[in-house]
A and B are shown apart, each in its own frame.
Chain A
Amino acid sequence: MADQKIKLSKADRFNVMWHSQFLQASWNYERMQNGGFAYSLIPALRKLYPKKDDMSAALERHLVFFNVHPYLVSPILGVTLALEEDKANGAEVQDEAIQGVKVGMMGPLAGVGDPVFWYTVRPILGALGASMAIQGNLLGPILFFVLWNVIRIAFMWYTQEFGYKAGSAITNDVSGGLLQKVTRGASMMGMFVLGSLIERWVNIQFTPIVSKTPLQKGAYIDWNSIPAGAKGIQQALIDQSNGLSLTKFKVTTLQNNLDTLIPGLAGLLLTFLCMWLLKKKVSPIVIIIAIFIVGVLLHVLHII
């Protein structure tokens, strides 16, 4: 082998990270992210294997089945880079060892990515942005876009560097304590935020009137005894802010009654119903369309 060692520079590694954003581009039913994994490594492989035969072997080695969360690929790429670098410099690294590391990290890491990114970070940032956007605030989408991408790129770069420096030693650590702790912590915070989102955003208002009781004299504004003109308006507003009712009757809707139990109860029950249906393998699309139909029907019947 050549005496001079080929080292991957920081720029090479950054290039790999940048390429790995296209991991899922050629996602296919046969080998999933295989093309994307090879594509991500190409900037490094070109430097490591100047000989055509070596290059071709390396490409074939990385075109096998691969599937992981698109950001959690970074630590795997880091370790693979370290192994390929050793191999290119003449170390005895079997193809099987490289495959073993990839497959060994794939399973545990995929399980971390979904709860952390798709079920905690994105719903939280998305809900934050959406609640501002609904009021027409441009900051909503901007905040979501910027925060998300800063978190994502920082995560991908640092975990890839971590994998590269730790090399294959990382595989022992993957199933170990820290990762599991992060996942569990994310689930806890995620569930907390979900609870609050359901209370705030699953809106069902039942409009039927449950009771209409006449109020005592003095509990409502007596419109007949109010002076005319601006003075009257002032008097009425003062009365109202003192807690007087605007009409002679106290109207209680079904919603008022439900809110005295706990606000947001109907939304919570609807969510539980959806969870149950999903567990019964009803397609989410079917549920979504059914809810729209039910919404229209209940509205026509003046229930909501």
Chain B
Amino acid sequence: MNAIQMILVVLVAFLAGMEGILDQWEFHQPLVACTLIGLVTGHLDLGIILGGYLQMIALGWANIGAAVAPDAALASVASAIILVQSGQGTKGIGMATGIAMPLAVAGLFLTMIVRTISTGIAHIMDADAKKGNWRKINMWQWVAVCLQGLRIAIPAALLLAIPASTVRYWLGLMPAWLSDGMSLGGAMVVAVGYAMVINMMASREVWPFFAIGFALAAIKDLTLIALGAIGLALAVMYLALESKGGNGSKSSDNEGTGDPLGDIIDDY
């Protein structure tokens, strides 16, 4: 890796760190972050594939309220750098996904530190507001977001400082049963993200949709887009039938119309 590539990697890391908190452009999502690291290091294919696997694991990770999800930004950036440095190619992807998980936890603590520092910044902003100094508030807002960027950029720079040969030596110590097992674990870990999402969304009303989706997915000819279309159509139909049916009670709470289909049949 030459100097320009290293600078670009740190820049990507900085961007991912900012986005991990802003949650707007989604540069911190593995699919984007790993691809960018792959792009700037000249291992685009490797980055895309690792991004795909990590994205599957991270699907359900979301910042909700005050809680921060496991840090996808640090996990993607650092594991992509390690994968590129290891020189193992696609064979190293299972290893890289395994390494990404503890990194996601480490990133969580770094975020907490930065958010605690930001509490101090909030007080500085108060003082500036009293003086009506909006320029200073703008500036502190930028300082805060740059701190979040550094939270990923600094670890990335430290990782780059380790020579590739050292990384290779360490990873060479890892026996095959361990890295193969980690690949298999990675395929199962996906379930945790889904479980988090289901726990948030599930209600009595939506479980049938889950069952239909699960059963239909076994038909391998249906692509994800086709499945999405079926899901959307079912939801639209359900809501449309519900507002037509019912005994004139258009209450919007979940228990309102117990059986919309039955009501329609009754009308005939």
Binding site for B on A (CB under 8 A): 21-32, 34-36, 38-39, 42, 45-46, 52-53, 55-56, 59-60, 63, 67, 70, 110, 114-115, 118-119, 122-124, 126-138, 140-141, 144-145, 148-149, 152, 177, 180-181, 184-204, 262-264, 267-268, 270-275, 277-279, 284-285, 287-289, 291-300, 304
Residue contact B140 to A35, C-beta cutoff 8 Å? yes
A123-B59, A202-B191, A296-B178 as given contacts; A26 in contact with B122, CB under 8 Å = yes
Contacts of B115 in A (CB 8 A): 27-29
Flag the segment in B5-13, B152-160, B203-211 that touches A: B203-211
Residue contact B252 to A177, C-beta cutoff 8 Å? yes
How far, in angstroms, from A231 to B245 measured CA to CA in the complex?
A: 68
Residue contact B59 to A289, C-beta cutoff 8 Å? no
A127-B59, A187-B203, A288-B192 as given contacts; A299 in contact with B181, CB under 8 Å = yes
Residue contact A274 to B211, C-beta cutoff 8 Å? no
Give per-residue flags for B79-121: 1 if the beta carbon is below 8 A from chain A beta carbons, else 0: 0000000000000000000100110110010000001101101
Main secondary structure of the interface of A (DSSP, over half): helix
Q: Within the complex, what minimum Cβ distance (angstroms) separates B232 from chain A? A: 5
Contacts of A186 in B (CB 8 A): 235
Residue contact B35 to A133, C-beta cutoff 8 Å? yes
Contacts of B200 in A (CB 8 A): 114-115, 119
Contacts of B65 in A (CB 8 A): 67, 110
Chain B CB within 10 Å — which of A45, A177, A185, A291 has the most?
Answer: A291
Give per-residue flags for B187-201: 1 if the beta carbon is below 8 A from chain A beta carbons, else 0: 111111011111111
B216 within 8 A of A: yes
Chain A to chain B contacts (Cβ below 8 Å), 6 pairs: A122-B26, A137-B48, A149-B25, A267-B188, A274-B195, A285-B70
Contacts of B230 in A (CB 8 A): 192
Residue contact B44 to A296, C-beta cutoff 8 Å? no
Residue contact B181 to A300, C-beta cutoff 8 Å? yes
How far, in angstroms, from A128 to B211 measured CA to CA in the complex?
A: 20
Q: Which residue of the partner chain, among B18, B70, B195, B231, contacts A275 with CB atoms under 8 Å?
A: B195
Contacts across chains A and B counted by CB atoms under 8 Å:
369
Q: Within the complex, what minimum Cβ distance (angstroms) separates B210 from chain A? A: 4
Q: Which residue of A lies closest to B44 (CB)?
A: A138
How far, in angstroms, from A291 to B200 measured CA to CA in the complex?
A: 21
Binding site for A on B (CB under 8 A): 18, 21-26, 29, 31-32, 35, 44-45, 48-49, 51-53, 55-60, 62-66, 70, 98, 101-102, 104-105, 108, 115-116, 118-119, 121-122, 125-126, 128-132, 134, 137-138, 140-142, 144-145, 148, 177-178, 180-182, 184-192, 194-203, 205-207, 209-218, 224-225, 227-228, 230-232, 234-236, 238-239, 250, 252, 254
Contacts of A141 in B (CB 8 A): 31-32, 35, 48, 51
Q: Within the complex, what minimum Cβ distance (angstroms) separates B106 from chain A? A: 10
Residue contact B116 to A29, C-beta cutoff 8 Å? yes
Residue contact B201 to A191, C-beta cutoff 8 Å? yes
Contacts of A25 in B (CB 8 A): 18, 21-22, 141-142, 144-145, 148
A200-B217, A263-B218 as given contacts; A22 in contact with B203, CB under 8 Å = no
Chain B CB within 10 Å — which of A129, A177, A268 has the most?
Answer: A129
Q: Which residue of the partner chain, among A24, A124, A204, contacts B188 with CB atoms under 8 Å?
A: A204
Contacts of A295 in B (CB 8 A): 181-182, 184-189
Q: Which residue of A lies closest to B226 (CB)?
A: A196
How far, in angstroms, from A31 to B230 measured CA to CA in the complex?
A: 42
Q: Which residue of B lies closest to A176 (CB)?
A: B252
Residue contact B211 to A195, C-beta cutoff 8 Å? yes
Residue contact A26 to B185, C-beta cutoff 8 Å? no
